[in-house]
A and B are shown apart, each in its own frame.
Chain A
Amino acid sequence: MDLENQKRIKDLAETHGNENVVVVLGGAEAEASGLAAETVTAGDPTFAGPLAGVQLGLSVYHITEEAVKEVVNSDVYEEQVGMMEMVLPVEEIASEMSQFRG
């Protein structure tokens, strides 16, 4: 995950409390989504960024997961994500993401 994004997420978690922050990912690929999820839960696996060794344990979902889809207005979801749903490896991403949630 981009180092600047790690810093922003760390700052947000410190300001609002870990339990009040949900990270929604939009990456196009399963492995990269998994790495991002790992970064905001167990810490930066590359040990390069501000979240290296920092276990935030944040709630993290991908935008194409059912849990997110259920809470978004369906018209808005269709307009913003509908096409990408057709294109992305949705099931592969969901399976990768589930590994990082307790």
Chain B
Amino acid sequence: MSFAVVKAASYTLAHTPDFIPFGSTPTTAKARDDQEYFAALKNGLRSFDDVVNYPPNQCYVGNITPHQLGEVAQPWYQDAAAGERTGRYGDIMPQVEFYALLKASDAFDLVALTPEFIEVANPKLAAHPLLKRYTLDASKAMAATDMHAMLEAHKAEPLKMDGELVGIVKQAHDEDENLSAHIMLENLTVKATGVHAALCLEAQGVDLSEVEYIIECSEEACGDINQRGGGNFAKAIGEMIGCASATGSDLRGFCAAPAHSLIHAAALVKGGAFKSVLVVAGGAVAKLGMNSREHLAKDMPVLEDCLAGFAFLVTENDGVSPIVNTDIIGRLNVGAGSSPQAVTSALVSEPLNAVGRKITDIDRYSAEMQNPEITKPAGAGDVPEANFKMIAALAVKEGQLERKDLLSFVKNHGMPGFALTQGHIPSGVPYLGHGRDAIMNGEINSFMVIGKGSLFLGRMTNLFDGISTVVEKNPGVQEAAGFDKDEARRLVAQAMQDVAARLAE
């Protein structure tokens, strides 16, 4: 069977400053009544324009390449050049559109919006090339006074614009904590931001009605008391975006899930089960403002002020798009060690050695693409750079690279991180769009996507997780060996003559 190809990739952001208090760090601060933190938080918020102009965001949606990002002076959050909200791969959505999409994604009347908000939001939806298919029903608006009553009874979470109440997300059950207002807010957010990402594929010419299978790979779980995590975000998103011919399911694996999903999608297509597989992921509310305490302490703005999403389409070989070479799969098996070199060997050198390739043969590596401007002040260092250094060090250990060339390898085979720290979002796949273009433009021939996941966070195992594969230039459609009937007849006749001759002996 022919390899599957990466047909398109989209990347989206939703700027949600009023959602930051729902993040894990602000929630902890709220429980401690940390007024000082919230005063600093208010002063550290960015405007929508600042978010759009922010160079890593411009890179994420495809207006500048990772290489171009690397040439922009840091700190990136200061004096950024003006950028566009819409890029080659996606769109940066302001909060008003996000709330509108949250309501459009609500199948159980859990989101209520004020009439004043709906009046403002509907023209915004109508003006958006992808969101104009949705209109909010003004007859279902709820007055702010009624919302206050539900909030005071702790039966809802507030939706605010600049601190003003414009809506609520209601609890979906009186007693089941799995359907609490907060969980519904998180899950509807995954759905809405996933929808946004998938629709941006449509803007690239993808016909979503032709998708046959959907894999959703974010980090949230939807279900009730009897099946917390039952799913299925994939079909819920598919229903919203016109994937009438598709079925689907959710795949979970912490931050590694997108890389697992790429391989699952490629295998489903290569194996012939489905012709086109959409992989989609929505954003993580819990990660909003996750490192804000450290950013604010260093007089930086709150950089984790957006929800991120992505989608990509894996299809049958079109002879042109880059292939997912599933002959090369780096796997961190259950029995593998978890030291950095054991992990890097399992994910990088072992699968390459198995097909006779070297680490230096792969043009780019995309692993844990977290924006270093977010992680360094929080003490986590430059995560992608650390990965590229480890890959380079492994190449030195295996005699494929001179030690003096270690840093030039990092520069030439790596790239600056540009993805938001939204758990699954940075996991290798943010480069699928740029990498696909770089291959199609002839700039590179191949890149490796590496996903890693910290399974111990779930307290089920101390194991670490990781998986990788290679995306590379399409060698072109191989002409299938034709079935020559005449030749077949000749061979059969020859075989029968041989048998007859032996019987006669």
**Is residue A72 contacting chain B, with contact meaning CB distance below 8 A?**
no
Task: Type the 1/0 row for A1-41, where 1 means its CB is closer than 8 Å to any CB of B.
Answer: 00000000000000000000000000111011001000000
Instruction: Provide the main secondary structure of the chain B interface.
Output: helix
A31 to B393 CA separation, bound complex (whole angstroms): 23
User: Interface size for chain A: under 10, 10 to 19, 20 to 34, or 35 or more residues?
Assistant: 10 to 19
Contact B381–A82 (Cβ < 8 Å): no
Contact B339–A87 (Cβ < 8 Å): no
Contact A28–B381 (Cβ < 8 Å): yes
Residue of A at shortest CB range from B343?
A: A83
Contact B379–A32 (Cβ < 8 Å): yes
Task: Type the 1/0 row for B5-24, where 1 means its CB is closer than 8 Å to any CB of A.
Answer: 00000000000000000000
A51-102 at interface with B (beta carbon < 8 Å): 79-84, 86-87
A67 to B401 CA separation, bound complex (whole angstroms): 30
Task: Count A/B pairs, Cβ under 8 Å.
Answer: 45
Contact B393–A32 (Cβ < 8 Å): no
A80 to B293 CA separation, bound complex (whole angstroms): 33
Contact A82–B386 (Cβ < 8 Å): no
Contact A79–B339 (Cβ < 8 Å): yes
**Is residue B394 contacting chain A, with contact meaning CB distance below 8 A?**
yes
**Is residue B344 contacting chain A, with contact meaning CB distance below 8 A?**
yes
B220-241 at interface with A (beta carbon < 8 Å): none
**Is residue B67 contacting chain A, with contact meaning CB distance below 8 A?**
no
B327-343 at interface with A (beta carbon < 8 Å): 337, 339-341
The verdict on A82 contacting B397 (CB below 8 Å), with A29-B380, A32-B379 known, is: yes
Contact A83–B380 (Cβ < 8 Å): no
A83 to B344 CA separation, bound complex (whole angstroms): 10
**Across the A-B interface, the 5 shortest Cβ-Cβ residue pairs:** A32-B379, A83-B341, A29-B381, A87-B389, A86-B393
A–B Cβ pairs within 8 angstroms, 25 of them: A28-B381, A29-B380, A32-B379, A35-B379, A79-B339, A80-B337, A80-B339, A80-B341, A81-B339, A83-B340, A83-B341, A83-B390, A83-B394, A83-B397, A84-B341, A84-B390, A84-B393, A86-B389, A86-B393, A86-B396, A86-B403, A86-B406, A87-B340, A87-B386, A87-B390
Given contacts A83-B397, A86-B389, A87-B390, 12 further A-B contacts (CB under 8 A): A27-B379, A28-B386, A29-B376, A29-B379, A29-B381, A79-B341, A80-B337, A81-B339, A83-B341, A83-B393, A84-B340, A86-B406
